Each structure stands twice: as C-alpha cells, then as structure tokens.
Chains A and B, each alone.
Chain A
Amino acid sequence: MSDDQEYYAGLDMGSAFIKAVLINRKQIIAYEILSSGGRYKETARKVLDQVLSEGCVRLDKLSGVVVTGVGAESAPFQARQFSDISCQAAGCWSLFPSARIVIDIGGQFTRAIQLTPQGRVANFLMSEKCATGSGRFLQVIARILRINIEDIGPLSLRSKKPVEFSTNCAVFAESETISRIAEGAHMEDILAGVHRALAAKAAVLVTRLGMEQDVVLTGGGGEDIGLVAAVNEALGLDVLVPKQPRLTAALGAAILANEEKDKAH
C-alpha cells in the first residue's frame, strides 16, 4: 500500500472535549471537536466516526490510531496510547519544526515542554495543582463578569491598565473581582489582569526549563488573543500559534500512529 492510501487517526480525550484528527501523508484531512459531557466512550466513537466519514475512510481502512489525553483509558476500542505530552510535542513540531518550547494552556493546567531539534520531548514542567495556573481561572472570572469565553481576548486587548490581583487564588480573585468592579474597575482591565497572571505562571515554567527561541503556544489558551499578547509580553518574544490550537495533541497522536507503523516496516 502506498502512502497515498495510508490514513492515520489521533484521538485526544481531554477532560472537557474530545478531539479527533485524520491525516494522510502527515496532512490534516479532517478533524472534529466535541464536548465530552461526561460520556467519554460515546463521544469518542462519535468524533472518530465523523472524521472518518468526512475523510471518506472506512474504520477498517485506517492504518493506525493513537489515543491520548486524560480520558484515554475510556477509549471505546483497542488502540495504542501515548502520553499527551508526547503527542503535543509531535503535533506542534510537525507544524513548527523550529520550535524548541511548547506552552500548553488548557482548562486544567499549564505546561511547558522542551523539545529536542528532532521534535522529541526533552523535558517538561506542569502547573496543575491550582486553578490560577490554568484556563479555569479565566472561566471563573468570565462567569462572574457574565461574558463569553470568546469575547475575553478582544476585550482584554483594550485594557490600558491591567488590574493587579492581591491574591494568587482563583476563589479569592473572584471576590476581589466583585469588589474591584464595585470600585469602578473596567472589565477589560480585570481580564487583562487575569491574562497577565496566567502568562506569568507560564513564563515561570519556561524559565525553569531554560528559555529558547521559537516558542509555540497551544491548547485552548492559544485561541485567546489577549492571553497570547500577555504571554508575548511576559516572554519578550512573539510566540507561534497553531491555526487550531486545540487540535495539536490529536494531530500529534495521528503522527505518532503513522511513525509507529513506519517503524514496524
């Protein structure tokens, strides 16, 4: 079978969303993102079915599947598993081969991954114990400000004077936000303050790994232009952002499925 007919799928079963990517010759030909809603197995099957039908590929014609993410154990079929760190590294490196650092800001954590020039994981650090180190912090604040997640970025960019929170705890920051608003603080300044706090946490991880040129910002955080701007400011460079930041781990999973197959030959 030639490369042309070889299709690989990557399935990223995250805590909130399940993502699937279908590739051929390392190019994305179909993808899908669905909210898991707590039904991992069902959603995973649905997501995979959709990319296969979109790519006009039958399940038995797939040359390989790799599953990753916290929910990988609940995959509805037998498949090879890789850590989401390896998949994130492989996915980002395939898009940006010059990248040496990947920052992944998700709903539950922020992590920084250091890559070898060959795109392998050299080292990584995580901030996962506390909501202020994750996108969850933004969700908490957006909820009390009653704004949509997708409006956060554009609003934050309008800030002239980001709020400096007196606390490092998302719960306490929630009360602080309420009193700041009561005191007349602007919504955009509060959001920019949250972005700064998140960016500072990411910068700490990167500094501990050793700062290198060509940094990728991926995960849900990569979709937030306010956060991207804050990370740029914190690191003093312009990060590279994938077009579909939430798909990079699923893409990496598909690429690793492809590589596994190549190794076997």
Chain B
Amino acid sequence: MHFAGVDIGSTMTKAVIVDGHGAMMASVIGPTGAEHRHLALAVMDETIRKAALSFEQLDFIVATGYGRINVPFADKQITEITCHARSVRALFPKVRIIIDIGGQDSKGIKLDAQGKVMNFIMNDKCAAGTGRFLEVIAETLGIKLTEMGELSLKAKKYVRISNTCTVFAEHEVTTKLAEGATIPEIVAGLHEGFAGRVVNMARSLGIEKEVVVTGGGAMNIGLIKAIEDKVGFRVLVPREPLLTGALGAALMGMDLLARGVTSERQRRLEGVTFFK
C-alpha cells in the first residue's frame, strides 16, 4: 500500500509518499507558482518517480494547504491544521503545541493527549510573524533568507527592532545599519521580535511543554533559538520541517483507507494530462 500527500502552501508545494506502515518513501519540494494545478502534478509526478512507483500504485492521495482545492487528482482535501496534527502525532507523540511558521501565515495548534486538534490560532492578516517578514528584510539587507539563522548566531548582542509592521521595520533596519549596528545583530533582533510574536500566539492557546516548530521558519536555527529563549525550554523540530503538512496528509489518507473510505480518483482522473 502507498499513500501520497500534497501540500500546496503559499510559497512552496510539497509532496510525500509513505508506505503501508506510514514510513516516508520519497518527498519533493518545489516553489508554488501561479499555476497551482500544473505544479501540483509536476511535484507529485517527480515524487512518484523518486519512490519508483507509478501513479496507479497510489492507494490514496490527500491534498492540503491553502491551494488544496487546486489538486484535481486528489481523493480528498483536508485542512493543513489537521494534517500537521497528524504528522506531529506520528513524529512526536508527546507534543501538545505546534507552532507552524509558513511563508505567508503562522499558526499555533493545540493538541489533546490523543494528538487531536483542540484549538488553533492563525495569523494570515499581517506579514509580521510570517516568513514574508524575514524575506522582505533579508532583501533589504542584501542577504539570503536561508543564511539568516547562521548569521544571527554570530551576534554577541541583538539590536531591538521596535516596529512590528514589515514596511516600517524595513525602514528601521536601514536606520540601525546607518547607526552602525552589524547585520548579525540586526538579524538577531529581528528573530527576537519575531519569536515574541509567535510565542505570544502559542501562549494564547495555553502553552505546554513539548512544543514543536514546523514550516519554513523551523529551518532557521537563529529563530528556533530565539523561540527557546522566549519559552524557556528546548523545542522540537522535525528533520524536514517543510514536509510536516504533506506527511500528515499522506498519513490521513492511510487512516481514511483503513476506515473503509475508498478512492474514486480513477474516474475523475480522466481528462487530466500529465507532465512527461
């Protein structure tokens, strides 16, 4: 048995295939463009090839993420909140709080002892506290988003950035540079402010020990450290933080099939043309 999950996020499209035991066989990460449908197909196709399978061998496909309705080959659409909870339950059974930092939103998810979603909170109204914030500022500083984490660790102190608004923070950052602050100090300051916002979000759910951070933000080691400073304990990070949603989607497919929900995909597949 094989199950696939496709997660169309605001910035990245991710696909995962798991075997009948829920173990990951293959994964692919590609950028999300304007053409969701084509991209979902292309990413899925590549994942299938990596797993040395054929499309027909997939028993169930679940789509998740904000672009999930644009996955015509999926058997079912499930929200990313549920999918995140599902994979975190598999990876870290003790976790009660998920902080997911995506490209254009961030979420706090609270789980009960069984790993089911109890409550969640989401910010997609304002770029502050989302990957977009760091992306915009990285561009202002002329550095890569992916090097921010390492850079910030070089700072001995951080320079506080008092503006929450990305647009104003952009201006503040250039002022601080002009005043002589170093890029590592500024990046460390950005992480400190950012961590404060996402931790406050998690606190509003009632923070509990065993926190996992997922999404692209979890790949930033400086941000993780800043979050740990705020909560006062170590947090968990999946080995592949970007894949949490897609993995959860694949596992949800496995659960659904076990419960007797069958795929009607074959019928709907007619008319869908594949890349390659």
List residues of A whose CB falls within 8 A of some B CB.
38, 108, 129-131, 136-137, 140, 167-172, 179, 182
Contacts and interface: CB of A to CB of B under 8 A. Distances in A.
Nearest to A15: B171
Contact of A169 (B127, B175, B178): B127
Given A38-B178, A130-B126, A171 B132 contact: yes
Given A131-B165, A136-B167, A136-B168, A168 B127 contact: no
| Interface majority SS (helix, strand, loop, mixed), chain A | helix
B164 interface: yes
Interface in B163-184: 163-168, 175, 178
Residue picked from B34, B125, B126, B133, most chain A C-beta under 10 Å: B126
Contacts of A136: 167-168
Given A130-B165, A172-B127, 6 more contacts: A129-B164, A130-B168, A131-B165, A170-B167, A172-B132, A182-B34
A140 B104 contact: no
A137 B126 CA distance: 13
Given A38-B178, A130-B126, A170 B165 contact: yes
17 contacts: A108-B168, A130-B164, A130-B165, A131-B166, A136-B167, A167-B125, A169-B126, A169-B127, A169-B166, A170-B167, A171-B127, A171-B132, A171-B136, A172-B104, A172-B126, A172-B132, A179-B34
Contacts of B164: 129-130
Contacts of A137: 167
Given A38-B178, A130-B126, A171 B166 contact: yes
A168 B175 CA distance: 25
Contacts, number: 40
B-side interface size class: 10 to 19
Contacts of B34: 179, 182
Nearest to A16: B171
Contacts of A172: 104, 126-127, 132
Contact of B167 (A167, A168, A171, A179): A171
A182 B125 CA distance: 22
A38 B125 CA distance: 32
Nearest to B168: A131
Nearest to A139: B167
A168 B127 CA distance: 10
Interface in B26-40: 34
A221 to B, nearest CB: 16
B136 to A, nearest CB: 6
Contact of A140 (B125, B132, B163, B167): B167
